[in-house]
């Protein structure tokens, strides 16, 4: 499947040039919810997804209109503290409600900065509301477009003409400030599979089951990274050091060895007294200015070790497992109040996964294998080609705080190889020297 590109406008361009809030002159009086239409518009009428990140205690509405006013066809999503409702108008009467829910997950999250998104899908005659990344697993409320017809297309009716996007707050309250906002030209329908495979391995069954993503579906930056590390010779154990993985394991579990001592030194690196919340970073090449830190990093994960929950600042990434297994826990966003992942995937030796600015930015990596069974991954990073803001950090959760981690290096790759080789030989093991 093709991953959906997003459109992000500068925040000052969300509304008209002077940035002020005003009620359109033709807004019917007495609605109680003055609407301001944004500069966003669905590229294809009747379909698309709009997301606003708010930190507010006040209810708000996302308004979709067939005209840039309240006189055409409307769909209105009201997010409140006690209920969330989809309406066919911008009024307050119960007759205008299409569907509603009081489920806690679908309500306003007061005091928390969170993306709220609304997906319009007239072809499938439904509206979806979610929080966090725009993924089907993160839908918290779904409603059909009003029925009264025999087919979905007929049920959608004039909703095919919806394209203008507005925001409303209850009269007498301030419209919430959008900390971020973005537009997708397609509705939220399918989850892009996190498993990445070359095009010569994809099958009709895999497409039908939505089991894998091919590299051609990824942004250009991901394709470059994949092209560099996906080959069969990008592996840990090589002809000149067939026991490299065994030697690393030995170094991890043996007091006095370099990996053992480095891991002990790094305990608490992320602000906690958690000796297992750490891993080794072996950089491959310098920071070239197109990635957060070195673009290629060999990461060593001892058994039972893990990372903090963290995000990647809208960078692209490709991750290939070189040895062992890595579990990837995925989170809707980086938020101290959200510590439960919405899905988990495990990747084995030779398998590849990815992240893009739109998908899978927030995760936690875990090696659930027992001590003495390390995992090695090659982590590859690159800013999107159209990025003009290079975020040089990985942000991570430390209790109730979001902290910045500056990508560092425990060793450079060739130095690390030489040290492990010497350590392995000193322990009385034979090391191939054909290089």
Dump pLDDT digits (tens) for 191-226. Answer: 999 999 999 999 999 999 999 999 999 999 999 999
CA distance 105 to 257: 49
**pLDDT computed for residue 245 by the predictor:** 96
Question: Of 177, 425, 96, 397, nearest to 274 (Cα)?
Answer: 397
Question: Each residue of 315-334: pLDDT tens digit?
Answer: 899 999 999 999 999 999 99
Query: Which strand (E) or helix (H) includes residue 181?
Result: strand 180-184
CA distance 51 to 110: 17
Share of the chain above pLDDT 90, in %: 71
CA distance 186 to 1: 13
Give residue for tokens 């309500």.
107
Which CATH number is associated with domain 11-184?
A: 2.60.120.200
Query: Strands 316-323 and 375-382: what pairing?
Result: antiparallel
Q: What 8-state DSSP symbol labels residue 75?
A: E
Q: What angle do CA 139, 70, 95 make, to 5 degrees?
A: 65
Tell how many helices (H) and how many strands (E) occur in the chain: 6, 24
Residues 6+ apart with CB under 8 A from 111: 55, 57
What SS3 class is residue 260?
Answer: helix
- Report domain extents, the chain: 11-184, 196-426
Q: What 8-state DSSP symbol labels residue 203?
A: -
**pLDDT computed for residue 21 by the predictor:** 44
Q: Are 99 and 85 a contacting pair, CB within 8 Å?
A: yes
What SS3 class is residue 136?
Answer: helix
> What is the chain's mean pLDDT, rounded?
88
**pLDDT computed for residue 157 by the predictor:** 61
CA distance 432 to 247: 13
Question: Each residue of 92-103: pLDDT tens digit?
Answer: 999 999 999 999
Phi, psi of 259 (to 5 degrees): -70, -40
Residue numbers of the chain with a pLDDT score lower than 50: 1-2, 18-26, 29-30, 149, 153, 155, 435
**pLDDT computed for residue 288 by the predictor:** 76
Q: How many residues does the chain have?
A: 435
CA distance 2 to 8: 19
Q: What 8-state DSSP symbol labels residue 147?
A: -
Which CATH number is associated with domain 196-426?
A: 2.60.120.10
Question: Of 222, 270, 200, nearest to 2 (Cα)?
Answer: 222
In this chain, the answer to whether the domains covering 11-184 and 196-426 adopt an identical fold is yes
Written as one string, the DSSP assignment of 276-324 is TS--EEEE-S---SSSSS-SEEEEEE-TT-BPPSB--TT-EEEEEEEES
CA distance 319 to 303: 18
């Amino acid at each position: 499947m093709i991953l959906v590109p997003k459109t992000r406008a500068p925040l000052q361009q969300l509304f008209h040039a002077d940035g002020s809030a005003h009620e359109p002159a033709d807004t019917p009086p007495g609605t109680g919810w003055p609407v301001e239409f944004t500069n966003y518009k669905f590229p294809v009428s009747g379909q698309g997804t709009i997301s606003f990140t708010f930190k507010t205690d006040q209810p708000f509405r996302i308004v979709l209109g067939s005209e840039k006013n309240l006189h055409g066809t409307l769909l209105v999503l009201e997010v409140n503290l006690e209920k969330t409702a989809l309406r066919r108008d911008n009024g307050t009467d119960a007759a205008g409600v299409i569907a509603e829910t009081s489920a806690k997950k679908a309500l306003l999250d007061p005091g928390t900065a969170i993306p709220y998104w609304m997906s319009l899908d007239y072809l499938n005659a439904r509206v979806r509301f979610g929080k966090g990344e725009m993924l089907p697993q993160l839908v918290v409320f779904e409603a059909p477009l009003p029925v009264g017809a025999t087919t979905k297309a007929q049920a959608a009716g004039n909703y095919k003409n919806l394209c203008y996007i507005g925001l409303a707050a209850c009269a007498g309250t301030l419209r919430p400030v959008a900390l971020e906002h973005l537009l997708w030209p397609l509705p939220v329908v399918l989850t892009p599979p996190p498993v990445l495979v070359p095009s010569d391995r994809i099958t009709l069954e895999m497409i039908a089951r939505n089991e894998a993503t091919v590299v051609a579906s990824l942004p250009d930056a991901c394709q470059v990274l994949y092209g560099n590390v996906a080959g069969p010779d990008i592996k840990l154990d090589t002809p000149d050091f067939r026991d490299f993985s065994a030697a690393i394991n030995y170094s991890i579990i043996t007091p006095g060895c370099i990996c053992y001592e480095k891991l002990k030194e790094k305990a608490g690196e992320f602000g906690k007294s958690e000796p297992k919340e750490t891993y080794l970073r072996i950089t491959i090449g310098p920071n070239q200015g197109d990635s957060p830190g070195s673009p290629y990093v060999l990461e060593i994960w001892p058994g039972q070790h893990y990372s903090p929950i963290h995000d990647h600042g809208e960078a692209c990434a490709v991750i290939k497992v070189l040895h062992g297994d890595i579990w990837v826990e995925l989170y809707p966003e980086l938020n101290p109040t959200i510590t439960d992942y919405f899905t988990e995937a495990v990747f084995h030796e030779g398998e590849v996964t990815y992240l893009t600015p739109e998908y899978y930015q927030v995760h936690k990596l875990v090696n659930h294998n027992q001590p003495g069974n390390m995992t090695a991954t090659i982590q590859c990073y690159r800013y999107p080609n159209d990025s003009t803001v290079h975020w040089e950090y990985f942000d991570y959760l430390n209790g109730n705080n979001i902290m910045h981690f500056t990508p560092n290096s425990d060793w450079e790759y060739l130095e690390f190889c030489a040290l492990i080789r010497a350590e392995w030989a000193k322990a009385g093991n034979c090391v191939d020297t054909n290089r």
